[in-house]
Amino acid sequence: MKARTRATEPAIRPSSHWTGWGQWLALITMTTDHITRYVLPTSWDTTWAGSSLGRIAMPLFAAMVAWHGLFNTRNPLRYARRILVIGLIAQVPYTLMPRPIDVFVLNICFTLAAGLAWGTLWAHVIRQLDDGTPRPLALSLAVLSIAAWYWLGDWVEYGHYGLLMIPLYMLAMHALHDAGNTLAERFIATLAAMPVLLVAGQLNTTDMAKSFTVGTCLVMLLLAAGVARHVPEVLFRMPRRLWLAWYPGHFAVIALIVYWPG
């Protein structure tokens, strides 16, 4: 992986206009999934919505987190902490959601925050290896992080595969964005994109759900490969407070609807 310096990053940073559209799409598809799953009567048979539109949200959220962590923030770990705070606030209403099996699971924000921290750690180690200055502490933490992934995967939403999404997105996006014009460079970049597509295919069980998840992931990779520069700025930018509050807020509203007396 080609090493970067902070001084040169602004000149090579790709356009992030697509994330403005992605925010609206992610909230709409996520909310559609949760309403059809938790609020609407089962007699309405709306499972198709969760297996199609609802499967767009997770790979889209993961892609936006990976993109910002890779290209747009100077402190990915602080970004991960902000996501974790949202997850902590959302955990109580999330836990109240009716499930067929009564098991404790940490919500998707924990998956995203842990994935970003893990991807940042490995990116740091790879840069050290590229520079020829590997540090024992960083290498040790990277090795120990594999054990942490194995343990945490039993507790978070989307499990072990979900935790892999952001690190593999970061690998693929970096390779695709930095790929040169030679056939060999483009071939290597394409190989780097394969793992995240394979993992995305394991996040769901039905063919319909898999196709929407992998298809969303493929679009995200095309953006990293250069399509992002053709995306115009969003017409109506989502207010920051709405973006931060929607995840815990919509679970709180759903909990009120589900458990309201009568």
- pTM for this entry: 0.91
C-alpha distances in Å from residue 249, one per residue of 7, 31, 46, 240: 39, 11, 23, 14
Taking residue 24's Cβ as centre, other Cβ atoms within 10 Å add up to 15
State how far the Cα of 214 lies from the Cα of 75, in Å rounded to an integer: 29
| Per-residue pLDDT at 262 | 60
24: Cα within 13 Å, side-chain hemisphere:
11
**Higher pLDDT pick, 66 / 10:** 66
pLDDT at 10 over 80: no
C-alpha distances in Å from residue 223, one per residue of 17, 19, 29, 102, 179: 11, 10, 20, 39, 13
State how far the Cα of 201 lies from the Cα of 210, in Å rounded to an integer: 5
State how far the Cα of 96 lies from the Cα of 39, in Å rounded to an integer: 13
pLDDT at 4 over 60: no
